Structure 1
Amino acid sequence: MKVLVTGAAGFIGYHVCERLLARGDSVIGLDNLDASGDVTLKATRLSRLKAAPNFGFHRMDIRDVKSCRELFDGAKPERVVHLAARVGVRSTPAEAQDYTETNVTGFLQVLELCRQARVEHLVFASSSSVYGMGTPVPFSEHAVADKPLSLYAATKRANELMAHVYSHQYGLAVTGLRLFTVYGPWGRPDMAPMLFLRAMLEGRSIVLNGEGKMQRDFTYVDDVVEALVRVLDKPPSGAPPYRVLNVGRGAPVSMARFVDLLEERLGTKAWVELRPAQPEELEVTCADATALERETGFRPSVSLEQGLSKLVEWYRGGEG
């Protein structure tokens, strides 16, 4: 297939591109290399992807209507994986405009281009944060998701609703994946796994909000990629051809336990600063992956113990 991947230089985007390239797909990567993330890390990921002959890269912002239209017209992608976004639940009022322009207006642009290009299937990244306040555990896709705790969560829920409209009105096949705390090699330096790992090795303190009692459903990146590729290969066939699926193990772990496991693998002690929970953070995330397994025959299975061991092994191998 010919697949367009937005956010190709990002953490998940990089791994998805690698997987698609390895199986012989032609991949068109799009990324604006936004300075809000680690630009050096993005560039390193990108340099590895560019070594593949069936990979082409375009430095471009999804909000750039003219350039994106020209790209779609020229490349004619059969399927699209949309991962480009401003990420993170902790946004400041000064960042609100950028979040909404990128995550909402930018996504509208992707939907419209997919409609015009008659793309066979659009798969986009949503988030476990959409579940918000008061959601029963484990989180089911059937739960009402109308009380987001962060602007980021609100933009991702908006994406799901916008995608449903395009699917209903125009027959565009769309799948949204609600991802649960993804971690692994080449991971985001602002998320707990990489942030804590580096701080502990450098003898710096780490902060545990919620006094370490908050629980997260950590999902290893290889499991996320496997789920995404299986979903990409199997567009929804309902009326409308639209679905939202959880991607997570359904095995939440407290942040205190997470630190314990990381200490064991690093052979070092963490200097921990306990703080109260932040208003934009859920107390617990836990995926019900029944629908994903029913749709694809796959359920994430890499335990946190296994995943952290792989992460530390990769980091100590000199590529972190």
Structure 2
Amino acid sequence: MRTGLRITAFAAALAATFGTAYGVGMGVDPVVEESAPPAPHDEHGGPAPREPEGDGHEGHESTPPGGLQVSEKGYTLDLATPRVSAGEREELRFTVRDASGGAVTAYQREHDKELHLIVASRDLVTYRHLHPTRAADGTWSTPVDLPRAGGYRVFADFTPAGKGAENLTLGADLAASGRYEPARMPAVNSTASTDGYQVELAGSLRPGKASELKFEVSRDGEPVNDLQPYLGAYGHLVALRSGDLAYLHVHSNGEPGDGTTKPGPGISFTATAPSDGTYRLFLDFRHRGEVHTAAFTVRAGAAPDASEPAPSSPAEHGDGHGDGHGH
């Protein structure tokens, strides 16, 4: 399996106001729902003004980041379900269309799937990694049930069939209706807990330069040496940049059966941050037939401010693994 990194980014504003409240879809693959302190409010009880999203993102990107568009290189993400209700199980439906407007029905399989779908809340507290099913007419669908109202971003990561076709990640906004309560992104941490597992992170993201990220998985104080392949590897990593949700999608170094890569406890990745900034890392791994997700907040580039909160407590993870779509 290749070690490559595909980076896409987007910077899109929500189409509706938070006063109307939003909702999000939840998938059936790895699920993260981490508690975070409420966002600051002004003297009238409303959300405090946000700093411009560009602040803190020093320019290391040599080319304009992808993923800003719902359409790119002749392909368009047509999200048929732009709004759902928070806390309710609904069906998320979408189609990838070509330059003629027709539905794409042929894809290259990458990492065991034709298409990977990521749904993340704008505050990066909620994360879903979904693997929807495709109908013969090209319509994709997956059940979603996200716990909190608010704004979300949907990423469709795929490669159309055909010689010379390029991998694309297209993005669209998803809104969930309900009572909106803003949250602050979890603090920087190098240790995460999920479903009884502990994961330690070593290494750091470097703006504009490749660097190694190493994760060590343990359970009850003992190293986990029998990880199972997930999407063709022992680990799967997605990183999202705070602010504009620049998207990094990377798979682990080495692959099962290559004669050198061990099934744990260590999982290694090579990644390049597109710029300085704060990122959320979501590590998926499989053990004893179940997929688990560990979440981290890290800095790339500038050192954390002295007022930065202490490392966050272990993440709280929801259920939602295993209704058959992603395993």
TM-score normalised per structure 1:
0.26
TM-score normalised per structure 2:
0.26
- Would you tell me which structure has more helix in proportion to its own residues? 1
Higher relative contact order (CA closer than 8 Å, sequence separation 6+):
2
